[in-house]
């Protein structure tokens, strides 16, 4: 049996497909599993040993479809479920399975604050796509694979951080998903442990401002490392404090204690840190704290994000208590 799994983007969403890929391979060991992803996100999945072949998408659907047709897949498992993934499926003329995206329920939640969403991770909804194959969730959570060439060493971080550090993921796909710089500075001053800031090149300037405000304790790694190298720093961290972004899900794959910070989005939408079966929003994993301002009448204001706060106060992030975040880090640090 030859299967094509489609998930174009983004890093976190791709990592959240890994339980399905693993269970497909283990429960159908003879299956040849191919994965279709955007070229810019290939490093998030390319080292997964359960995948037989990786295909990448850039811009030309017709050329891509012509290439994929030669594979003669038996089945398409669409875990993206958008216009492009449906179009590719139609062009390949093969049976397609998909999952409930629940966009209508998300719209209702965002615009009316009436929450009709199931208390489940999106991982559980991904498994709905393979229900007809009788593939079941093994409960072992997410996976992320780092090749030896991307492993970091002591020379990559300051000596002051060798005995342990808190990884702070300061990046995010939208402004309204990012904990503000001055709040990060307050946290770094409050927390007693060394800190490594994690993010992409676009977060470098914000990282410098935080590091300069708290010299010695904070190391700015934003933009210095590849995704795989940053993931390895996540693996090495004692505790992770993170915005709702891809490295948060990579931290969950490594079973790290996570304090997740929620701005315009909400964990009720199903994208909270997932550690395995029976992991729910209402019953999070023992080492997962979700910081969210649920008292605001405007929260959540989007399932994706904005370049600025629509209400101009950004209280969803500014009201998150630094002392509580620091307290959770100290508690998790002791427990690990």
Asked if residues 317 and 180 have their Cβ atoms less than 8 Å apart, the reply is: yes
Q: How long, in residues, is the chain?
A: 336
pLDDT of residue 60 exceeding 90: no
pLDDT of residue 208 exceeding 90: yes
Instruction: Residue 51: name the closest of 83, 6, 94 by CA.
Output: 6
What pLDDT score does 277 carry? Answer: 75
pLDDT band of 279, cuts 50, 70, 90: confident
Q: Is the peptide bond before 152 cis (omega within 30 degrees of 0)?
A: no
CATH 3.40.50.2000 positions along the chain are 2-133, 148-335
- Percent of the chain residues topping a pLDDT of 90: 95
pLDDT of residue 226 exceeding 90: yes
**Lowest-pLDDT choice from 82-86, 277-281, 309-313:** 277-281
What pLDDT score does 215 carry? Answer: 94
The overall longest dimension of the chain from CA atoms, in Å, is 59
**What single DSSP character describes residue 139?**
S
Q: What is the pLDDT of residues 103-137, one digit of tens each?
A: 999 999 999 999 999 999 999 999 999 999 999 99
Instruction: Residue 49: name the closest of 75, 79, 29 by CA.
Output: 29
Q: What is the pLDDT of residues 83-97, one digit of tens each?
A: 999 999 999 999 999
Domain spanning 2-133: CATH superfamily: Glycogen Phosphorylase B; (3.40.50.2000)
**Which two three-digit tokens encode residue 34?**
């191919």
Whole-angstrom distance, CA of residue 42 vs CA of residue 8: 9
What pLDDT score does 102 carry? Answer: 97
> Quick one: 223 exposed, middle or buried, by C-beta within 10 A (0-12, 13-18, 19+)?
middle
> Region 294-316: what's the mean pLDDT?
96
Tell which CATH classification among 3.20.190.10, 2.60.120.10, 3.40.50.620, 3.40.50.2000 matches the domain 148-335: 3.40.50.2000
What pLDDT score does 282 carry? Answer: 77
What pLDDT score does 280 carry? Answer: 79
| Rounded (to 5) percent helix, strand, coil in the chain | 40, 15, 45
What pLDDT score does 151 carry? Answer: 97
Whole-angstrom distance, CA of residue 232 vs CA of residue 264: 28
pLDDT band of 166, cuts 50, 70, 90: very high
- Percent of the chain residues topping a pLDDT of 70: 100
**Which two three-digit tokens encode residue 89?**
């499926």
Q: What is the pLDDT of residues 172-186, one digit of tens each?
A: 999 999 999 999 999
What pLDDT score does 286 carry? Answer: 85
Instruction: Residue 219: name the closest of 237, 197, 239 by CA.
Output: 197
Q: How many CB atoms lie within 10 A of CB 227?
A: 18
Strands 32-38 and 53-57 turn out to be parallel
């Amino acid at each position: 049996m030859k299967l094509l799994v489609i998930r174009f983007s983004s890093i976190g969403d791709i990592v959240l497909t890994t339980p399905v890929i693993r269970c497909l391979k283990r429960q159908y060991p003879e299956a040849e599993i191919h994965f279709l992803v955007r070229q810019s996100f290939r490093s998030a999945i390319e080292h997964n040993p359960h995948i037989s072949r990786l295909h990448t998408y850039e811009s030309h659907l017709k050329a891509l479809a012509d290439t994929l047709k030669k594979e003669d897949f038996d089945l398409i498992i669409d875990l993206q479920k958008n216009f492009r993934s449906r179009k590719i499926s139609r062009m390949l003329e093969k049976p397609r399975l998909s999952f409930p995206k629940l966009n209508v329920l998300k719209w209702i939640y965002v615009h009316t604050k009436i929450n009709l969403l199931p208390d489940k991770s999106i991982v559980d909804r991904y498994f709905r796509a393979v229900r007809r194959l009788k593939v079941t969730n093994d409960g072992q959570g997410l996976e992320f694979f780092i090749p030896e060439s991307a492993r970091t060493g002591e020379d990559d971080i300051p000596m002051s951080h060798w005995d342990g550090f808190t990884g702070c993921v300061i990046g995010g796909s939208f402004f309204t998903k990012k904990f503000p710089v001055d709040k990060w500075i307050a946290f770094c001053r409050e927390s007693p442990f060394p800190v490594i800031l994690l993010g992409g090149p676009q977060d470098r300037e914000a990282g410098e401002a935080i590091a300069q405000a708290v010299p010695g304790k904070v190391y700015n790694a934003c933009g210095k490392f590849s995704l795989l190298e940053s993931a390895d720093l996540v693996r090495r961290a004692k505790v992770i404090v993170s915005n709702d972004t891809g490295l948060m899900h990579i931290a969950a794959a490594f079973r790290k204690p996570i304090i997740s910070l929620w701005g315009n989005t909400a964990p009720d939408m199903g994208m909270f840190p997932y550690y395995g079966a029976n992991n729910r929003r209402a019953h999070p994993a023992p080492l997962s704290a979700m910081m969210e301002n649920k008292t605001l009448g405007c929260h959540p204001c989007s399932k994706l994000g904005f370049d600025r706060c629509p209400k101009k106060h950004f209280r969803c992030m500014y009201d998150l208590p630094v002392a509580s975040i620091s307290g959770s880090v100290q508690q998790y640090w002791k427990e690990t």
